[in-house]
Amino acid sequence: MTGATTLPSSRRAADQRLAAVLGTSLYVAGVGLWGRSLEHSGTPLYLGAPPFKGSWRVGFLTIQWPHLWVPALLVAAGVAVLVPTWWAEMAPRLRFRWLLVGSWAWSFLWTVSLAATSDPPNLARPLLDRHHEYLRFARELDSPVEFVSSFLARLSEYPTHVRGHPPGAVLAFWGLDRAFPTDTSFAVALLVLAATAAPASLLAVRWIAGEAAARRVAVFAGLAPAVVWIGTSADALVMAVVAWAVCAAAFALEHRGRAAGAAAAAAGLATGVALTLSYGSMVLLAPVGALTVWLLLRRRYGTVAIAAGGLLVAPIALVAMGFDWVEGYRAVRFQYYDGVASERPQWYFALSNLAAFAVAVGPAAVAGLATLRRRRLWVLAGSALAGVALADLSAMSKGEVERIWLPAVPWVLVATASLRTVRTRRIWAAVTMGFTILLQWKLRPAW
């Protein structure tokens, strides 16, 4: 045999990963340069920093609060050093329960430390925008029932994001604000909930593909560049709800008896809640749909029936309060195309959306996808990508998908299970987290 035919599989895998990341980087850069050219020529993209919504920071010292920026950056740098070294080394050896706690802790700490570098001293600032966000509006609600019953009739009066989602999103913020009434406590509680998507994804991977795969994913769960937008977006709450819906469905798939029934009910309930939080959940819940098909192929009809019953609870509750979900979606589609969506060219956004999402999932996920061979993991990652593709083709996602598509991120990250050696995971964790710091430093998101 020649040397070329005996090239070690590990070397081939490394080359495939590098090629995938370099190819994706060129694609993102090309789409970004194309977008800037279009904006300069007068094409209405309304982005500012194609393919992202926001603006690029100019200069080296771009933070306005150095007294808080310095310690926050030190914390972020510390996490970026410890994850590729200590955490990557410990993940294969820790008790699984502590692995779950650790994945949540790293995700929370990483998100908070990065968020604090951009908008200190108030982590809640992105949530307080009266013209776009939910929180101030939710605080002014006198009667949630009256709000839901008149939601469609008064839709044009509401802030942008309130108009673009079912009323469940406002109700969630209303309830969360009652439990955490200050701005900072509310923001921290939201980030605590968002960080639970990391352990939820690890549990799902463990039940679907085994504990070894989950331990490999643990190095990356919750640490993708998507944290740049998780720390500034209410869509992080949708991400957590979708993550637990998928997690419960995975448990129901791999177990029997009462435990499986309870998990199916929980999966259905979480799925229904997600549908009341965001219309986009229809496609971003694709991993739940894939697991449901798997259950049907196994003839687990009773389990699926229980899940279907759970799914109806939250939507029926809104119907009982006077909200028509189908009419709501029709109204939001009309309003969407009555605004900037009518001017944004679909031919550009069909490509730029994918570039923005590729950045959100990060280099490690792209590298993992290039060498992922486990069919069971492709059920999760592949269905998440299929949901993203459907959202992209729907023409209801023209830009800003780095925030809107957050629920798909944890399930694309499961592809990092294909990074099999500790050394490989260290390298890709360092690359991903270094890239995230660079993105946080130079990009000022619109939220």
Burial class (CB in 10 A: 0-12, 13-18, 19+), 144: middle
Least confident among 54-68, 132-146, 322-336, 384-398: 54-68
Three-class secondary structure of residue 288 per DSSP: helix
Three-class secondary structure of residue 210 per DSSP: coil
pLDDT of residue 5: 41
Tokens 């080359």 — which residue? Answer: 15
pLDDT band at 2 (very low <50, low <70, confident <90, very high): very low
Return mean pLDDT, the chain: 88
Three-class secondary structure of residue 253 per DSSP: helix
Q: How many domains does the chain have?
A: 1
pLDDT of residue 343: 83
**pTM for this one?**
0.92
Give Cα 320 to chain centroid, integer Å. Answer: 30
Tokens 């270094």 — which residue? Answer: 434
Instruction: Judge whether 301 lies within some domain.
Output: yes
Name, of 72-81, 317-326, 413-422, the range with top average pLDDT.
413-422
pLDDT of residue 115: 79
**What pLDDT digit, counting tens, does each position of 72-93 carry?**
666 777 777 787 888 889 999 9
pLDDT of residue 59: 61
Integer distance in angstroms from the first to the last C-alpha of the chain?
A: 58
- Looking at the chain, the whole-number percentage of residues with pLDDT higher than 70 is 93
Is-contact 307 291, C-beta < 8 A? no
pLDDT band at 4 (very low <50, low <70, confident <90, very high): very low
Average pLDDT, integer, range 33-38 = 94
Least confident among 34-48, 85-99, 114-128: 114-128
Name, of 74-78, 269-273, 335-339, the range with top average pLDDT.
269-273
Instruction: Judge whether 157 lies within some domain.
Output: no
Instruction: Judge whether 81 lies within some domain.
Output: yes
**What pLDDT digit, counting tens, does each position of 237-264 carry?**
999 999 999 999 999 999 999 999 999 9
Instruction: Judge whether 2 lies within some domain.
Output: no
**What pLDDT digit, counting tens, does each position of 156-165 carry?**
888 888 888 8
Is-contact 264 222, C-beta < 8 A? no
Instruction: Judge whether 158 lies within some domain.
Output: no
pLDDT band at 200 (very low <50, low <70, confident <90, very high): very high
Check whether 71 has a pLDDT greater than 70: no
Is-contact 252 203, C-beta < 8 A? no
pLDDT of residue 3: 43
pLDDT of residue 73: 66
pLDDT of residue 244: 98
Domain containing 183 equals: 12-128+176-445
pLDDT of residue 118: 64
Least confident among 236-250, 283-297, 315-329, 350-364: 315-329
Instruction: Judge whether 354 lies within some domain.
Output: yes
Instruction: Judge whether 156 lies within some domain.
Output: no
pLDDT band at 69 (very low <50, low <70, confident <90, very high): low
